[in-house]
Structure 1
Amino acid sequence: MVNHQIKVVQALASALTEGGRGVSGTAFPKQPEKSLKLYEFEGSPFCRRVREVMTLLNLDYEVYPCPKGGQKYRKIVKEKGGKKQFPFFIDENSGTQMYESQEIIHYLFKHYGKTGKTPKKFAQYPKIPVAAFAGTMINGARGVWINKKITDREAPAQLLELWGFEASPFTRVVRGVLTELELPFIFHNVPKERWQDMGPAALRLKPGKYQALKGGKRERVVELMGRDIQVPYLVDPNTGVKMFESADIVKYLKKQYS
């Protein structure tokens, strides 16, 4: 447990390197009919840029982890796009597939943002992502390499589902393990929609019983969880498991899939 808490602290420090990006998002996303797909790996600073924008736009998407040394999805990216470069993004709603984090970000704002334009702070990332790279190092480079113990294991029949948001340190720890185990999953974004959502579940800035924004995405998630929102939340349709608490989720994933 102590080791897990150290990882959470590292993940929190990693989130701080990006100045709060990946915390907040719109309450009323333009979720497409067909699921967006992202081939990426947790420790990549370029992939992180895209995930931050996905959280801001509050989009759910399928994740196909491509850690270094991975054998399952890296070859699919090569087959579909011609090279092993990440992130690799697919939108079947428009027949689009593309590399380059900045181009993906422009595409997301154009098709799924409110104005169709990329905000200035997201329009020109530095070519060398120093802050995000530092975040990866602070996080112990977790979610970069494959767990070599699982190279011969087939992927689960159904995608796992994970609720969280990009900058959540507890969620980051779980995503790192999912990456290292090459476990594909649906990521359901539940970012902070307004100031009343800020803070951990038990210590929000607004005291009293939590009330999600009326008509917002979080209101639907509260109904799903049957309680106040807490992330990460994992559902594994392959085993029927539904669970909170990052430490328990990590333990489950390693026991079930490694």
Structure 2
Amino acid sequence: MASVVNFAPSPIFRPIPIPIPRHRKTTRFSVKSSAEISETPLASTSVSTKAEEPKLGFSAPPNFKPPQPKPFSVRPDKILGILGASLALIFRFGTGALVSGYSASFVAKNEIPPDKYALEIAGFKLKETSKLGPRPEKPIEIYEFESCPFCRKVREIVAVLDLDVLFYPCPRNGPNFRPKVGQMGGKQQFPYMVDPNTGVTMYESDDIIKYLVGKYGDGNVPFLLSLGLLTTLMEGFAMIGRMGRGSSYTPSKLPPKPLEVWAYEPSPFCKLVREVLVELELPHLLRSCARGSPKRQILYEKAGHFQVPYLEDPNTGVQMFESAEIVEYLRATYAL
């Protein structure tokens, strides 16, 4: 059982110096704390699918234009990647695809106003509801990496509980957040959770899951996350199709502000984007929005359409749909 220690809230980042060749321009890394992030209401973000004026010394790639969303389509060169990422749905039986207390029913099309998000099928609309626990005032902070089965367990409960999480990627050889975990907790073990709302810090995936459902859920661990070693083995099999992607560090420029990503764990399209975010060691605030999440309506109002993944980059002003193009944008903007 991992020990729980008090965590005195402080600015999130105390960056570890990284040697930078003289011919490259140095970027100062000063990311807002989670408290500052949480003070900005979601609805206050401007609605746009066009790149705005560059901010904070970062800019979108030359001639960049955000793509139009293409629902239920896969770019031909990404078919194999999506199929590999979809294996997780089979091995994990869709764990994390539905939020806590999810229920749904088909109703007549005119029963749901056109300004409300709802999936339409054969002239009917899907009415979805959920029962969520208390909402944390500040995002939970989790240090982890994509291809770790223990980390995936925690990401699944994040989706079930519909929590917003500030993820600090810790790929192998990552120079920033992997050493940071060793400084904070005494060892480089993942996942590592910090709850700025309570001051609790914690290792061990099962302990983190129990803590989160007790604090922000109904206290009950979902069955497929309560099977101990069997759960861990299933999580490992779920990632076979991606062959360790999202594990190793790719040299990158660290942005001054964390990116924001609307996504949820079981989506194969979201998976491809998360892998690159981890490899490039890009901090990101994940707006979890599995089926039944009230945040689906928020994104629908913000962008005029619901589809995930959806990226908002406060460092460049870019806001965009489409996983394949998001991956290309991230590499072009942040990879060295």
* TM-score scaled by length of structure 2: 0.66
1:116 to 212, 215, 219: 219
Q: Could you say which structure has the larger radius of gyration?
A: 2
1:25 paired to 2:99? yes
Deviation at 1:129, TM superposition (A): 1.8
SS at match of 2:229: coil
Please list, as runs of the form range in 1=range in 2, the aligned pairs for 1:121-200 lying within 5 A after superposition.
121-126=224-229, 129-147=232-250, 149-150=251-252, 153=253, 155-193=254-292
Counterpart of 1:6 in structure 2: which amino acid? L
Q: From the two aligned structures, give the one with the greater helix fraction.
A: 1
Listed as ranges, the gaps of 5+ residues in structure 2 are 1-74, 101-129
Distance 1:160 1:28 in 2: 28
- Which residue number in structure 1 is paired with residue 320 of structure 2? 243
What is the number of residues matched between the two proteins?
A: 231
- Which residue number in structure 2 is paired with residue 16 of structure 1? 90
Deviation at 1:53, TM superposition (A): 0.4
Specify whether residues 131 and 28 from structure 1 end up closer, same or farther in structure 2 by C-alpha distance, changes over 3 A only: same
Deviation at 1:9, TM superposition (A): 1.1
Q: Identity rate of aligned residues, in percent?
A: 40
SS at match of 1:117: coil
Deviation at 1:163, TM superposition (A): 0.4
Distance 2:234 2:92 in 1: 6
Distance 1:53 1:118 in 2: 8
Specify whether residues 107 and 250 from structure 1 end up closer, same or farther in structure 2 by C-alpha distance, changes over 3 A only: same
Counterpart of 1:65 in structure 2: which amino acid? P
SS at match of 2:239: helix
Counterpart of 1:124 in structure 2: which amino acid? L
Counterpart of 2:299 in structure 1: which amino acid? V
Listed as ranges, the gaps of 5+ residues in structure 1 are 194-212
Deviation at 1:28, TM superposition (A): 5.2
1:221 paired to 2:299? yes
Specify whether residues 116 and 131 from structure 1 end up closer, same or farther in structure 2 by C-alpha distance, changes over 3 A only: closer
Distance 2:225 2:320 in 1: 34
Mapped contact 1:31–1:60 kept (Cα < 8 A)? no
- Which residue number in structure 1 is paired with residue 330 of structure 2? 253
Mapped contact 1:161–1:188 kept (Cα < 8 A)? yes
SS at match of 1:70: coil
Deviation beyond 6 Å, 4+ runs, structure 1 = none
Question: Cα RMSD between the aligned structures?
Answer: 1.7
1:75 to 161, 166, 179: 179
Mapped contact 2:225–2:231 kept (Cα < 8 A)? no
- Which residue number in structure 2 is paired with residue 54 of structure 1? 158
Q: Deviations over 1:145-182 (max 9, x none)?
A: 112x43xx3x2011100001100000000000000000
1:90 to 194, 214, 228: 194
